[in-house]
């Protein structure tokens, strides 16, 4: 069996605070196979962006990795010297951020920004690099690319700019694209077009995708497997649609309940009561326990480790009761949610 393109094992990220430290990522493990589209989903502040930035060596100061292993094609790259690590990362993967306006350089023409990698890293001539950039612009669905090549970022719409960012990402010929909320700043129609483009790249070019979003609807439209993150940990992982139809962690269940479902307009949109834990303090037991209606005594003391389930893994000690949750929730339990 070939090794995953990207694997992260037991990653911990901490942020020093004036009085203590914030343990923002608490032992995340995940993997993406070649050509696979994987989602990382969880509410705001759960540690998704820090996880992605940590594995790329792009953590904001003063955050730092305190332990964990990153493997690329099965090779442990954790201890590599910075320059070799950067080379290895940029040869394998590319990143797309949420805010395309700040991701692009405002004083350079968008076409030149796409042509930069072919010119500088791949040793192409100016003319060849321009023609590669124009082809990439066409590939990401930009009409009239020769003319638009000459424009500056502020002269393009948000959706167009995000397509430019995807073209820049593709210019490095990555096998994996890491995308952090790439459509959050876009309106729904443009969002759907950008997601369709990412799906098409996977299908046609076999480019893998690790898509980070707080929006379960976005990742479930685009990915074949999901990791659900809560309070710095992976609560549950599994294949779609298993994870959607039969979630095994109460947090996944509650995330699903908070997505509007056009087929069940009568169902209430339920917010999850309570707040995520303060990760600057030690969390005893399951971090979701204070908000979970299925909590048992053991959940408050034991630190749950991910256990294999039918479709993936779940870090819930009460997983065996999973199949009965939908019934409980729509029955008496609904009042609690």
Ligand X SMILES: Nc1ncnc2c1ncn2[C@@H]1O[C@H](COP(=O)(O)OP(=O)(O)OP(=O)(O)O)[C@@H](O)[C@H]1O
- Which residues of this protein are in contact with ligand X, per CB under 6 A? 15, 22, 24, 42, 44-50, 60, 63, 214
Name every residue whose Cβ is closer than 8 Å to that of residue 10 and which is 6 or more positions away in sequence: 27, 28, 29, 67, 68, 69
Q: Work out whether 213 is an interface residue with Mg ion (CB under 5 A).
A: no
Specify the residue for token string 């908000």.
Answer: 291
Binding mask 38-57 for Mg ion (x = CB under 5 A): -----------x--------
Structure token digits, residue 113: 């920004």
Residue nearest to Mg ion (CB): 49
Residue 60 binds which one of Mg ion, ligand X, none, with CB within 5 to 8 A depending on kind? ligand X
We find the least distance from the C-beta atom of residue 289 to ligand X, in angstroms, to be 19
Residue 50 binds which one of Mg ion, ligand X, none, with CB within 5 to 8 A depending on kind? ligand X
Cα 195 to Cα 248: distance, rounded to the nearest angstrom:
27
Structure token digits, residue 82: 């910075």
| Range 145-153, long-range pairs (CB < 8 A, 24+ positions) | 145/111, 148/110, 148/111, 149/109, 149/110, 149/111, 149/112, 150/109, 150/111, 151/109, 151/110, 151/111, 152/106, 152/107, 152/108, 152/109, 152/110, 153/100, 153/101, 153/104, 153/105, 153/106, 153/110
Residue 168 binds which one of Mg ion, ligand X, none, with CB within 5 to 8 A depending on kind? none
H or E element at residue 193? helix 188-205
For ligand X, which is the closer residue by CB, 8 or 322? 8
Size of the site for Mg ion (CB under 5 A): 1
Among 93, 140, 92, residue whose Cα is nearest residue 114: 140
Specify the residue for token string 């269940």.
Answer: 253
The number of C-alpha atoms within 13 Å of 128 and in the hemisphere containing its C-beta is 9
For Mg ion, which is the closer residue by CB, 24 or 142? 24
Q: Which residues partner with 95 through β-bridges?
A: 178
For ligand X, which is the closer residue by CB, 254 or 311? 254
For ligand X, which is the closer residue by CB, 195 or 201? 195
For ligand X, which is the closer residue by CB, 46 or 220? 46
We find the least distance from the C-beta atom of residue 211 to ligand X, in angstroms, to be 13
We find the least distance from the C-beta atom of residue 333 to Mg ion, in angstroms, to be 31
We find the least distance from the C-beta atom of residue 109 to Mg ion, in angstroms, to be 29
For Mg ion, which is the closer residue by CB, 118 or 182? 182
For ligand X, which is the closer residue by CB, 99 or 128? 99
We find the least distance from the C-beta atom of residue 98 to ligand X, in angstroms, to be 8
We find the least distance from the C-beta atom of residue 216 to ligand X, in angstroms, to be 12
We find the least distance from the C-beta atom of residue 79 to Mg ion, in angstroms, to be 27
Residue 63 binds which one of Mg ion, ligand X, none, with CB within 5 to 8 A depending on kind? ligand X
| Range 256-261, long-range pairs (CB < 8 A, 24+ positions) | 256/216, 257/329, 257/337, 258/216, 259/216, 259/217
Q: Is the dihedral of CA 325, 327, 333, 337 positive or negative?
A: positive
Report the interface residues with Mg ion, using CB under 5 A.
49
């Amino acid at each position: 069996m070939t090794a995953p393109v990207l694997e992260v094992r037991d990653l911990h990220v901490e942020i020093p605070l004036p009085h203590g430290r914030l343990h923002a990522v608490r032992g995340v493990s995940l993997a993406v196979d070649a050509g696979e589209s994987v989602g990382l989903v969880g509410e705001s502040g759960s540690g998704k962006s820090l996880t992605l930035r940590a594995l790329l060596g792009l953590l904001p100061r003063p955050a730092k990795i305190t332990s964990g292993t990153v493997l690329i094609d099965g090779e442990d790259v954790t201890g590599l010297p910075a320059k070799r690590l950067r080379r290895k990362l940029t040869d394998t993967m590319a990143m797309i951020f949420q805010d395309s306006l700040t991701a692009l350089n405002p004083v350079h023409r968008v076409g030149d920004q796409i042509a930069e990698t072919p010119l500088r890293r791949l040793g192409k001539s100016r003319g060849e690099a321009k023609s590669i950039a124009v082809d990439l612009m066409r590939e990401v669905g930009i009409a009239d690319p020769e003319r638009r090549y000459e424009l500056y970022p502020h002269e393009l719409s948000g959706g167009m700019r995000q397509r430019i960012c995807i073209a820049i990402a593709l210019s490095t010929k990555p096998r994996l694209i890491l995308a952090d909320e790439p459509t959050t700043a876009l309106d729904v129609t443009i969002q759907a077009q950008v997601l369709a483009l990412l799906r098409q790249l996977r299908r046609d070019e076999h480019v893998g995708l690790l898509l980070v979003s707080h929006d379960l609807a976005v990742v479930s439209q685009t990915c074949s497997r999901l990791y659900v993150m809560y309070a710095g940990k992976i609560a549950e992982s599994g294949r779609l649609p298993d994870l959607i139809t039969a979630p095994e962690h109460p947090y996944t269940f509650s995330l699903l309940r908070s997505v509007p479902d056009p087929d069940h307009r009568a169902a209430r949109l339920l917010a999850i009561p309570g707040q995520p834990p303060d990760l600057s303090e030690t969390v005893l037991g399951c971090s979701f326990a204070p908000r979970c209606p299925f909590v048992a005594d053991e959940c408050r003391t034991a630190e749950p480790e991910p256990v294999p389930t039918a479709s993936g893994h779940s870090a819930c000690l009460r997983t065996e009761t999973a199949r009965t949750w939908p019934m409980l929730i729509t029955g008496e339990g609904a009042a609690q949610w």
